[in-house]
């Protein structure tokens, strides 16, 4: 009888393991599938900026795929910002932000991850993809004199900057690359496993708390030794100037749970600065780029569109309905930039460059 009970327990354990692995694989497929930015969005896309901000398209390899990059402000020589975008987006949705830095004299290199927009790949595999692709981008810009060189033949200082998934990239890559001069991470998570578990809890409930080992296993198959790069460890290893900004009501990457900032006590790098956004309604995952008025407007737009999506199966709004909705959005009102925030980042980079050249 005892052997039968033990066998039943073993079968139950194996069944639970199998179910959790299946759930993990389903989450990966759903979260990291191929993605292209929808032209019907609240943000201004490149067509809005085309006449004032020309860009040069380039292609470079990354772990068996070909990524598409974009060079802006080629005449600028203050420094080279290598920008990494967030999940389910692309560099175009950050152009209202990036053009500020182009105007300030920075050369900007932006790119799309594997499986995103103009880059190849059937999917993005998982969260460790962003630092892997950023490392490839850094290697590429250093190899291309038209991107890295000033007119006098010297190299531009390289600055990494990113939001959300890209913020993780801009700091986790410091575990792999020792040639970055300074970094700015906005709304970044610290660890791909922890954030995956926390996000899973929002979708699946407490059962997701058991998924950590399976997420780590899948990441290991996909990324090998780079399966679990930790952002704050890269920050400590580099000892370079790093600016960490986060919104205190971030509903996607919780400030006190999974952010880089919540590991402040473990950060030994003396060159790290912190900025927490507390102004309502700017104090959320995406909204601190905007003025309070614009943040309120975009939140209103999101709420209205969410109500529309509830009318359709799986929230999949038909193309014509989506287009009609966003064609009526007041983009001027919804895209007013919070220049004070942009100035904060520019001042941080400027101070780092001045000290580095002293």
The pLDDT of residue 339: 97
Instruction: From 115, 62, 117, 63, select the one nearest 91 (Cα to Cα).
Output: 117
The pLDDT of residue 1: 67
The pLDDT of residue 283: 97
The pLDDT of residue 28: 87
Are the C-beta atoms of residues 285 and 164 closer than 8 Å to each other? yes
- pTM for the model: 0.95
The pLDDT of residue 107: 98
CB atoms within 10 A of CB 100: 18
Using only C-alpha atoms, what is the Rg of the chain?
A: 21
The pLDDT of residue 205: 82
**b/e burial code for range 293-331 (CB count within 10 A of at least 16 → b):** ebbbbbbebeeebeeeeeeeeeeebeeeebeebbeebee
Instruction: From 306, 333, 335, select the one nearest 322 (Cα to Cα).
Output: 306
Instruction: From 314, 284, 318, select the one nearest 302 (Cα to Cα).
Output: 284
E strands, the chain, are 55-62, 65-72, 80-84, 107-111, 158-163, 182-186, 242-247, 272-277
Are the C-beta atoms of residues 230 and 172 closer than 8 Å to each other? yes
Are the C-beta atoms of residues 59 and 68 closer than 8 Å to each other? yes
Q: Report strand pairing: 65-72 vs 107-111.
A: antiparallel
CB atoms within 10 A of CB 350: 15
84: β partners: 162
The pLDDT of residue 20: 83
Q: Which residues in the chain come in under a pLDDT of 70?
A: 1, 358
- Please name the residue that has the structure tokens 């998934």: 165
Go through the domains of the chain in sequence order and give each one's CATH number: 32-191+228-290+342-357 (3.40.50.1820), 292-336 (no CATH)
Distance between CA atoms of residues 181 and 167, nearest Å: 16
The pLDDT of residue 219: 94
């Amino acid at each position: 009888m005892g052997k039968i009970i033990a066998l039943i327990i073993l079968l139950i354990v194996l069944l639970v393991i199998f179910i959790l692995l299946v759930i993990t694989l389903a989450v990966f497929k759903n979260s990291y599938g191929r993605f292209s930015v929808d032209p019907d969005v609240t943000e201004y896309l490149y067509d809005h900026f085309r006449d004032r901000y020309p860009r040069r398209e380039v292609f470079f390899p990354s772990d068996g795929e070909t990524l598409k990059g974009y060079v802006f402000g080629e005449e600028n020589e203050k420094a080279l910002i290598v920008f990494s975008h967030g999940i389910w987006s692309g560099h175009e949705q950050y152009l209202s932000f990036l053009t500020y830095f182009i105007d300030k004299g920075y050369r900007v290199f932006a790119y799309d991850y594997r499986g995103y927009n103009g880059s190849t790949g059937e999917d993005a595999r998982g969260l460790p993809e962003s630092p892997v692709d950023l490392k490839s981008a850094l290697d590429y810009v250093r190899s291309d004199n038209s991107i890295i060189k000033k007119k006098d033949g010297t190299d531009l200082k390289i600055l990494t900057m990113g939001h959300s998934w890209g913020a993780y990239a801009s700091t986790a890559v410091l575990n792999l690359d020792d040639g970055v001069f300074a970094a700015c991470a906005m709304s970044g998570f610290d660890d791909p496993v922890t954030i995956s578990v926390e996000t899973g809890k929002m979708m699946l409930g407490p059962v997701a708390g058991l998924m950590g080992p399976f997420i780590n296993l899948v990441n290991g198959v996909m990324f090998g030794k780079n399966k679990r790069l930790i952002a704050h460890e890269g920050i400590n290893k580099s000892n370079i100037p790093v600016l960490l900004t986060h919104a205190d009501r971030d509903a996607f990457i919780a400030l006190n749970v999974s952010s880089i900032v919540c590991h402040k006590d473990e950060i030994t790098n003396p060159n790290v600065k912190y900025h927490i956004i507390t102004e309502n309604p700017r104090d959320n995952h995406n909204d601190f780029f905007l003025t309070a008025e614009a943040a309120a407007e975009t939140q209103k737009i999101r709420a209205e569109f969410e109500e529309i999506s509830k009318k359709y199966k799986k929230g999949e709004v038909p193309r014509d309905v989506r287009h009609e909705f966003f064609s009526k959005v007041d983009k001027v009102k919804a895209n007013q930039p919070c220049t004070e925030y942009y100035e904060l980042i520019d001042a941080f980079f400027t101070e780092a460059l001045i000290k580095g050249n002293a």
